[in-house]
Amino acid sequence: MCGIVGFTGRQQASKILLEGLKKLEYRGYDSAGIAVMDGEKISVNKVRGRIANLEEKTKNGDAVPGTTGIGHTRWATHGAPTEENAHPHLSNDGRFAVVHNGIIENYLTLREELIRDGYHFESETDTEVIVHLIEQYYRGSMSEALIRATNRLRGSYALGVICTEKPDKIYAVREASPLILGIGLEENYFASDVTALVSHTRNVIYLEDGEFAELSPDSVRIYDCRGKAVDKEITRILWDVQAAEKGGYEHFMLKEIMEQPGAVKATITPRVKDNRIAFEELSISREELSDIRKIVITACGSAYYAGCSGKYALEKLCRIPVEVELASELRYSDPLIDEHTLLIVISQSGETADTIAAMKECKARGARTLAIVNVVGSTVAKLADYTVYTWAGPEIAVATTKGFTTQVTVLYMLALYFGDMLGLVGDRYEGILKSLLSLPRCIQHAIDLNAKVSRLAKKYHKSSSIFFIGRNTDYAVALEGALKMKEISYLHAEAYAAGELKHGTIALIEDHQPVIALCCNPAIMEKTLSNIVEVKSRGAEVLALTFRNNRKILSVADDLLFIPDVDALFSAVIEIVPLQLLAYYVAKENGCDIDKPKNLAKSVTVE
């Protein structure tokens, strides 16, 4: 959600800023802008819409000289997506420019105060109060101005600041919003995501809440909220820069769907030693685990559905009750959580605002916390008592694919690991582990089995709405499948537990209504088949997702998607793949912006 870049060095800043902003497009935005210092004054260029418009306005950066600057992609919160509301924002005297990710909760009070003090506002944003506060408190020392200004702010912010009196310096400030420093040779950077940095440097420093940094071409100085110098460790980004490129695919989403066999293998392989699951990063003991009375999984969006999908394996193998809660609801629910609760927190970015807030609330009540995240050094990872990384690599498309499947895979592995630790698996261990190890191969097989899914997309892409139905794990996957369909194709799609059809939903079934039925659990196959017959008798057209050679379904389904034979307990990561492909091709038929769906952001860092 929004993106920030900053650069200071010997090169032309505008080109690097534009390149960095393009790498951050996946985060979601509706306007963009850059501010570059030419040594005497700050030149600001802002546009509505895509970065391509900004490139055109600045002649690909050639029209904006200078070697120090900041850039921003805005996802509108306070004020409409207009050029006036786009970042960067200038101070009244023109000496300062600011870009900001996050929300300033007390901005109205500050705005009224600043207006009384004689400042005028050009925008409707909460951000503009920041740049006027910096101007108000500046007395020659940027560190003092930043400390005094940020002490007045309530909310979340990652800030990038430049000042005409410090012509080769950029300033970065973090509070509850991610911000990363990039360390180069005679040039330094900051950004809200490493994807904006890796083509220039893989050496990064993760700022903590309350810290700010002063960067020049030759130095990086970091301070705490009192202005005391802080020593920080430099981290090396290990994944290849090509991982953030399309690699010949038309869209990042398709590339990331096809990467899932490798991503799931990367999640599993390092944690299998001597034919046993080995979570070396977890220090939880058998005694501590035995003290757990319930597991609560909390997350938002697809990560929440990953929790729904993994719940069944955890309960079956560990025999511990598992609740799955939306983080945005859990944080306000006065939850019944104590020291006998294990809270599993799932977030691809590790920066999801509601998830972080729910995590803090549960930790305050005594819960032990285990994070499943993809981004090393993220806020969720640092807050957790235990952290398991998915190692999925960078995911650029806004709609998650390999992020989801690797999260579910980690839950499967935890289920076996904990179940074995509690002595509940016994001689079934070898067979269960074999099923887990087969998942990468089965995902690839699912891709191969559905090579004709684009033809089905041509049939269903004009539908006004699509229903997904399933039971048990099939229902959990239906939730994620429906989300994929609506978020990238903009078709109305809803998932229902198939057994609930007669409790209201079936009233919506009429002639030619598309229904996608998930039938991948042999134990409840007959029940799901009955539900398919129910909707067929009312005129529905049924696209069934099932395992190969399921002859019973051939007589009732109109169209079929297939997965290979797989243990039903671990089928979610296989089932979702054909549904991801279907959503992708439906969106393509509808001419949608697949990697950057309208109004959506990759990382939701504000409430």
CB 26 within 8 A of CB 252: yes
CB 269 within 8 A of CB 278: no
Among the ranges given (19-23, 271-275, 551-555), the one the predictor scored with the smallest mean pLDDT: 551-555
Question: Which position has the higher pLDDT, 605 or 382?
Answer: 382
Which residue among 22, 402, 484, 602 is the active-site one?
602
Q: DSSP letters along 445-504, please?
A: HHHHHTTTHHHHHHHHTT-SEEEEEESTHHHHHHHHHHHHHHHHH--EEEEEEGGGGGGT
CB 225 within 8 A of CB 150: yes
Where are the alpha helices (H) located in 511-571, listed in sequence order? 525-536, 551-554
* pLDDT tens digits, one per residue of 480-532: 999 999 999 999 999 999 888 878 778 888 888 999 999 999 999 999 999 89
Residue 374 main-chain phi, psi, to 5 deg:
-105, -30
pLDDT at 93 over 60: yes
3 state SS for 121-163: CCCCCCCHHHHHHHHHHCCCCHHHHHHHHHHCCCEEEEEEEEE
* pLDDT tens digits, one per residue of 68-85: 999 999 988 889 999 999
Q: Is 294 helix (H, G, I), strand (E, B) or coil?
A: strand
Q: Residue 173: which of 99, 234, 229 has the closest Cα?
A: 99
CB 518 within 8 A of CB 474: yes
pLDDT at 139 over 60: yes
3 state SS for 561-587: EEECCCCHHHCHHHHHHHHHHHHHHHH
pLDDT at 214 over 70: yes
* pLDDT tens digits, one per residue of 398-419: 999 999 999 999 999 999 999 9
Average pLDDT over residues 108-119: 97
Which neighbouring-strand residues pair with 170? 215
Which residue among 2, 163, 300, 520 is the active-site one?
2
pLDDT at site 500:
84
pLDDT at 293 over 90: yes
Split at pLDDT 50, 70, 90, the class of 185 is: very high
pLDDT at site 241:
60
> Which burial class, exposed, middle or buried, applies to 347 when counting CB atoms under 10 A from its CB (0-12, 13-18, 19+)?
buried
Question: What CA–CA distance (Å, rounded) separates 352 from 156?
Answer: 12
**How high does pLDDT run on average in the chain?**
93
pLDDT at site 562:
94
Which neighbouring-strand residues pair with 205? 181
CB 341 within 8 A of CB 370: no
Among the ranges given (14-28, 326-340, 458-472, 589-603), the one the predictor scored with the smallest mean pLDDT: 589-603
Q: What percent of the chain has pLDDT over 70?
A: 98
Q: Left (φ > 0), alpha (ψ -120 to 50) or beta: where does 46 sit?
A: beta
Q: Is 363 tagged catalytic? A: no
pLDDT at 597 over 60: yes
C-alpha angle with apex 293: 287 to 295, nearest 5 degrees?
Answer: 105
pLDDT at site 601:
65
Output the CA torsion 479→482→484→490 (10° steps): -150
* pLDDT tens digits, one per residue of 232-248: 999 988 766 666 677 78
pLDDT at site 239:
67
Q: Is the peptide bond between 88 and the residue preceding it cis, with omega within 30 degrees of 0?
A: yes
* pLDDT tens digits, one per residue of 149-165: 999 999 989 999 999 99
CB 396 within 8 A of CB 601: no
CB 94 within 8 A of CB 164: yes
In sequence order, what are the residues at sequence separation of 6 or more whose Cβ sits closer than 8 angstroms to the Cβ of residue 328? 300, 354, 358, 607
Structure-token pair, residue 128: 């503009």
Amino acid type, 291: D
Q: Is 602 tagged catalytic? A: yes
pLDDT at site 507:
80
Question: Which position has the higher pLDDT, 249 or 240?
Answer: 249
In sequence order, what are the residues at sequence separation of 6 or more whose Cβ sits closer than 8 angstroms to the Cβ of residue 586? 457, 460, 461, 485, 489, 491
CB 48 within 8 A of CB 80: no
pLDDT at site 603:
58
Average pLDDT over residues 431-448: 96
pLDDT at site 172:
98
Question: What CA–CA distance (Å, rounded) separates 329 from 313?
Answer: 24
Q: Residue 326: which of 343, 305, 312, 351 has the closest Cα?
A: 305
pLDDT at 594 over 90: yes
C-alpha angle with apex 88: 82 to 90, nearest 5 degrees?
Answer: 105
pLDDT at site 177:
86
Structure-token pair, residue 590: 């509808």
Sheet containing 219-223: give its strands across. 89-90, 96-104, 155-163, 170-175, 212-216, 219-223
* pLDDT tens digits, one per residue of 169-179: 999 999 988 89
> Which burial class, exposed, middle or buried, applies to 285 when counting CB atoms under 10 A from its CB (0-12, 13-18, 19+)?
exposed
Q: Is 398 helix (H, G, I), strand (E, B) or coil?
A: coil
Residue 552 main-chain phi, psi, to 5 deg:
-65, -30
Split at pLDDT 50, 70, 90, the class of 260 is: very high
pLDDT at site 606:
54
* pLDDT tens digits, one per residue of 548-575: 888 888 888 999 999 999 999 999 999 9
Taking the mean position of all CA atoms in its chain, how far away is CA 602? 5
* pLDDT tens digits, one per residue of 571-584: 999 999 999 999 99
